[in-house]
Structure formats: structure tokens, C-alpha cells
Structure 1
Amino acid sequence: MNPAVQLLWPTPILVKRFEHGEAVNAELVRLFYQELEAQGGMRGNVYSSRDDLLERYSSPALQALFGFVSSSVFEVAQAMNAPLWKRLGTGKLQMHVVGAWFQIQNRYGFHDIHNHGNCSWSGVYYVQIDPVGQRRQHPALGVLNGITRFYSQGLNLLGGAHMDMGNAYMQQSTFDVTPEEGVLVVFPSWLLHKAMPYDGEKDRIILSFNAQIHAEGGNKGLEYDFH
């Protein structure tokens, strides 16, 4: 890249596999279906739990998973914030999960475009889903079957206008993550995303979370400032 060109406002997305995912996923599947049955089963093509999952269940599988979640959130947050953290002298940083929930979907169930509030980082962990090759054979959904799609910050500028060869880089307005069991995706909470329609033999089961990171003495160093 030309060193005179500044690439500003990056959008970091971490995609990482949990090495203990196979064992953890089996326990999570059991736990989540147990709740689904207690709630009377699926009433449509998507079931969403309450977002107090960590308060309601004391599960070794959840504890193991969120140990991995914590290290992964810090990994991407440090990559983006390390110079600022050093300048502010934040001390020991702490991650707070302010919401965790699971979703089960099938039979063309989907979650429309949205983002998350009251947090700096969000994530999705794939607990159960059909293998990639099998999903892509779907006669209607094909390669889009059950993927997670992220949308560019410039999406609202792309309504058929503002396009010439000078800004062709804006044509990449989406980024698709192909779900696989045991894979975690961490992304900025403000980033628009969507769970595309899914249809398969296995239910698509994911665990999502919202997280904040705070300094040891609070966030006083980040008072609103327009200088």
C-alpha cells in the first residue's frame, strides 16, 4: 500500500475455531433442547431464548466456552485499542457479558438485518449445523444456506448510485461467514448483520453474546471530548 494513503475506520471481524468445541457443543445441544422442550417446543421456524443464559445455568460447557469467548474478545479488542489503552493507563481490563442467549432455527427460519446495543463487541458461536457441503446442495438456498452476512458501513450509499471506477472498492458491501460447528465470530456491536434463511437435517443452533470492556478504575479516561 502507498504509505501516503491513510486507511481509516477499519471494521475488524475475528473468526476462530474453539479447540474444545466438539465436547462443549454436545453438552450445549442437550441443554438448549431441554429448555426448548420445557417451553413447549418450536412454535415457528426460530426459537430465541432469553438473554440471561449465564445467570440461569451453571454449566461447565458454558464456562469453558466463555473462557474462550473472553480471550477472543480481548484478542480483537487489543488489536484495535492497544495504543489507546497504553496511553490511557487503563490498568487491568475486565470483560462484562451483558447478554447471552441461544437461537434454534430451521425450515427457512432467519434473523433479519440488525445490530446490537449497550456493548462494544458482539459474537456468534456455531453450536450445531449441517456440514457445509451438504448445505450448499440445497436446491433453493444453495451457498447462502444458513450463512451469517455482515454489511458494509457504506451500504446506505450504494442505492444504485455513487459508482464509477474510482470507487469500485465499495462494491464489496457484504462479507459472508460460512458457519461451521465450533467456530466463533466476534465483531463490533454496531455492525449490521443477518442470519440468512436455513433449511437442513440438523437444526441451526447458535449462541450469541454482547460484551463490554472496562478499565480497572472505570472509564473516566474516555469522557466525551471534541478537541
Structure 2
Amino acid sequence: MNTSPVQMLWPTPILVRRFEEAAAVNPELLRLFYRELGAQGLQGTVYSSSDDILVRYNHPALQALFGFISDAVFEIARTLNGAIWQQAGVKNLRMEIVGAWFQIQNRYGFHDIHNHGNCSWSGVYYLQLDPVQQRRQHPVLGALNGITRFYAQHLNLLGGAHMDMGNAYLQQSTFDVTPEEGVLVVFPSWLLHKAMPYDGERDRVIISFNAQVHGEQGDKAFEYGFH
């Protein structure tokens, strides 16, 4: 039981997990995605597929990866909502992937600040990129080479906010995830984030997705009313 009078409200959860089958699954997915890139005949710093790869590709490697992703989404969603689900009597929850796509990035390609709509959880899985120490030695990008940066909810308030030692904690307005092959990051879909510029010997290849979680009787947990 929390006896502190201070309530820590509205957390921003981020889950980071490593996929144990990455060594077998990643090469299969890379072959699949580079085949599509070659068929498109496109050149540039960033290639983004359409968001229907689970519809277009009935591939065992994709099925294995998204089984792992499903477990991770339920883990983070249960951590935040478990008590509410129990109180509301929610049963037989199911996850629905409403969009999944891959992106190939290099030569200072990046994905600017954005968030995701029409879902509760989003994620990025790192298929391929140069090792961490190699990326950090880049003469221009340094330690920021290819990282994923998340932005705090209060970021837009910092410009006009008074800062003193009483609210010094607000100065940390970003959180950086250092990508590694085989690592999955799941985060709330509303959270602003950016794929920082990347330049390396190997392309930075990722899979992104948007997910919804629904109850058997729909998404209404409680009766509407005013208190």
C-alpha cells in the first residue's frame, strides 16, 4: 500500500524486449523486404512500405515475430490496465494489428517527429543496423546515429515555463533508445518520437506497427456518468 501523500499520476510506459528468435527470423525478413525494394526500383535515403505487410505477406517469419509482438503488447497493456480490466470484468481480450510496415533508412535518412493515430499502442522492431559502437564513431552524427528519440508530454510547455530548482525534473524532456538488432520497443501511440538521422555501412531496417486491444464485449468498461 502506498502511504506517500504524493501521487505519481499519468505514467508514460515504454517496454523494451529482445526477441530470442531474431537470429533465425531477421534474415528471412530482410530477404523479403529487400526483394520488395528491388522490385520498386526506388532510390533515396528512406523507403517506407505500405502498412499492410501482414496482409500482403503470409510468411512464417512474420508470424513468429508478431506472436512475440502480441505478447509484448499485452504485457505493457496489462501493466497499465490490469486493475481496470479486473474491476470492469473484462474477459477474452484480443489484440488487433491495424497497420504494420517496414522502413529502410541510410545516408542521413530520418523520420521526423510524429505520433500514431487510430491505436492505443505502437512499436518498432530493429531488424538491421550497424553495431552500437560502430555507429557512435560516426564523425558527424556520433552517439545520436540512428537512435529513436521519445519526447515528453510537457515538451511544448518548456518554452514559456519558469524554471527553477523546484521543477528541475522537467528539463529532461527526451528519452533515447539505442537500437540493437532483435530488440522491440513498445510505447503509447500518442507519444511523440523521431528516428534520428542514420548513416552506416548497413541499412537501418525496422518494422513498425500500430495495435488496438479490445474486450469480448467491446471497449466500454464502465457506465457513463458524472462524479
**Normalising by structure 1, what TM-score?**
0.96
Rounded Cα–Cα distance in structure 2 between residues aligned with 1:25 and 1:129: 12
Q: 1-10 or 213-222, which moves further after superposition?
A: 1-10
- Asked whether 1:115 is paired with 2:115, we answer yes
Matches within 5 A, 1:1-227: 3-42=4-43, 44-159=44-159, 161-221=161-221, 225-227=225-227
2:24 counterpart letter in structure 1: A
Amino acid at match of 1:9: W
CA drift of 1:221 comes to 2.4
User: Which segments of structure 1 move beyond 2 Å, counting only runs of 4 or more?
Assistant: 220-227
- Note closer, same or farther for the CA distance 1:204–1:5 as it changes in structure 2 (3 Å cut): same
Question: What is the alpha-carbon distance in structure 1 between the residues aligned to residue 222 and residue 49 of structure 2?
Answer: 34
SS at match of 2:122: strand
Give, in angstroms, the shift of residue 198 of structure 1. Answer: 0.1
Distance 1:152 1:57, change over 3 A: same
**Structure 1: which 5+ runs fail to align?**
none
CA-to-partner distance for each residue in 1:11-54, whole Å, 9 max, x for gaps? 00000100001111100110000000111132x20000000010
Q: Distance in 2 between matches of 1:35 and 1:122?
A: 24
Counterpart AA for 2:27: A
Alignment partners' CA distance in 1, 2:31 and 2:111: 23
Q: What is the number of equivalent residue pairs in this alignment?
A: 226
Q: Deviations over 1:155-209 (max 9, x none)?
A: 0111163211000000110000000000000000000000000000000000000
Which consecutive unaligned segments of at least 5 residues does structure 2 have?
none
Amino acid aligned to 2:115: N
**Structure-2 change in CA distance of 1:37 and 1:168 (3 Å):** same
Identity of aligned residues (%): 74
